[in-house]
Amino acid sequence: MPDPELTDWQYDLGGVVIGADTTVQVIETTGLGRPPVRESDIDQPSMDGQFAGPDYWAGRQIQFDAAIRIPGDPAACHDMVAALQTATDRAAVRLVGGQGMALRIKRPGRPVKRLTVRARKVDPEYGQVIHGYVPLDMEFLAHDPTFWSTRTRSRSRKSPSVGSPVEGSPHRSPPRSTCRTVRSPQTGPDGSPTTEMRTPGP
């Protein structure tokens, strides 16, 4: 299936769109900044200080503080929870090593960015479901913390796929030379080859 179209401030969780102009309001997100670092500094023997080893990025944890708002329709709230659970609990992802689901993000003035994640928590609170309001606490882990911007083109021998133009993080735009285009073995939703561009922020 093709990826759903996203507009500003929307998020695609394995095919379920939440955020602006949907029934799931996203109140706050965390974990979309600089990923955690696995440092490898070591104490210098017989000397003061440490030797600075390589810094590696660790997995990225993304949290969503959200709420389903469908006034007067508790059944529709339960349906939305079921849709989110179906998208995040697929056995083809959960039981297969190295597999993940897509988490896509659209911010104003930025192309859609993608992470590959595993769901770690989808916790609804049903205390106010009778009024059509269900708070959601969701957490995902991106084992590869890098954001990717992907654009697919039709298969062609004369016109290979070309990475989409991207910009840097919303706080600071790095020079374009800092982005690396990486040939990906994955294919697009229609089976066509893709070229992905790795970017530092959403």
Residues 132 and 153 in one domain: no
Please count the other Cβ atoms lying within 10 Å of the Cβ belonging to residue 143: 13
160 and 119 in a common domain: no
Residues 198 and 133 in one domain: no
Compute CA 79 distance to the chain's CA centroid, rounded to the nearest angstrom: 23
CB 60 within 8 Å of CB 36: yes
| pLDDT over threshold 80, residue 156 | no
pLDDT digits (tens, 9 = 90+) for 29-54: 999 999 999 999 999 999 999 999 99
Domain count across the chain: 2
- How many CB atoms are closer than 10 A to CB 10? 21
Of the CA atoms within 13 Å of residue 162, those in its CB half-sphere come to: 4
| Same domain flag for 128 and 87 | yes
Please indicate whether residue 169 or residue 56 has the higher confidence score (pLDDT): 56
- Asked if residue 105 and residue 26 are part of one domain, the reply reads yes
Dist. CA 77–CA 199, nearest whole Å:
35
> How would residue 1 be classed by pLDDT, with cut points 50, 70 and 90?
confident
Same domain, 80 and 133: yes
**Same domain membership, residue 125 and residue 62:** yes
The residue with greater pLDDT, 2 or 186, is: 2
Residue 151: pLDDT above 90? no
Which residues constitute the domain of residue 192? 146-202
Whole-structure pTM over 0.85, yes or no? no
